Amino acid sequence: MKLVLATGNKGKLREFKQMCEVEITPFSELLGEFDIEETGKTFAENALIKARTIYEKLGDDYLVISDDSGISLPILDGAPGIYSARYAQEDIKDRAVTDKDNLYKLINAVKAKGLKRTPAYYTAAIAIVSKYGEYVVHGWMHGDVIDEARGDKGFGYDPMFIPDGFDKTLGELDDEIKKKISHRGQALELAKPIIKMLKDK
């Protein structure tokens, strides 16, 4: 069974390719690019929606995995959470929101609370859908966010996120470090044995 990743996010694709030992194809190579509406109320629901949509189009010969993820700040009652990719969209009417729009909106939200640094965590839900059934696993990464962007590695909110145990942002730290500690890396460690079991069936 061919392994397909149901994401349109280039940063996620790069990280999955770095972390997976088996070949992984983005869905756009097989089906072209299109948006999948994320109507779920949780990371798990949205991950399943994305993986099921692609699996239903490709059929039984494929094993489809997806990632729904985001950053949450306790000081903002868990926002932006599942809305991380769409956080600044309500302020921008005439074009699609970018990672930078979202990053600076969150920096401004931290500043508006009068804070320079505050706890935050990333969540990733990875869904696996195949003819043998559906699975969802989760991973988390805890740390702090700061009131400025530092470094240009990673993607999204990484330039403002300092993982626990480090004194630099994920924008400044090596990809190798993010791979070991990230929400996506943790979830993928749980997903890998399931993927292997399904591929060998």
Ligand X SMILES: O=c1[nH]c(=O)c2ncn([C@@H]3O[C@H](COP(=O)(O)OP(=O)(O)OP(=O)(O)O)[C@@H](O)[C@H]3O)c2[nH]1
Residues of this chain that interact with Mg ion (CB under 5 A) are 85
Pairing of strands 62-72, 117-130: antiparallel
Half-sphere exposure of 73 (CA within 13 A, CB side): 22
Residue 157 assigned to a binding site: yes
Please say which residue, 182 or 200, places its beta carbon nearer to ligand X. 182
Residue 69 assigned to a binding site: yes
Please say which residue, 67 or 144, places its beta carbon nearer to ligand X. 67
Dmax (CA) of the chain: 55
Least spacing, CB of residue 51 vs ligand X, in Å: 10
The residues of the shown chain that bind ligand X, judged by CB under 6 A, are 7-9, 12, 38, 50, 67-71, 84-85, 99, 102, 122, 154-158, 182, 184
CB count within 10 Å of CB 160 equals 25
Of 68, 99, 144, 147, which is the active-site residue?
68
Q: Is 68 marked active-site?
A: yes
> Are 170 and 153 in contact, with CB atoms under 8 Å apart?
yes
Least spacing, CB of residue 85 vs Mg ion, in Å: 5
What's the angle, vertex CA 16, arms to CA 11 and CA 3, rounded to 5? 125
Least spacing, CB of residue 119 vs ligand X, in Å: 16
Examine residue 119 and say whether the peptide bond preceding it is cis (omega within 30 degrees of 0): no
Residue 151 assigned to a binding site: no
Q: What residues act catalytically?
A: 68
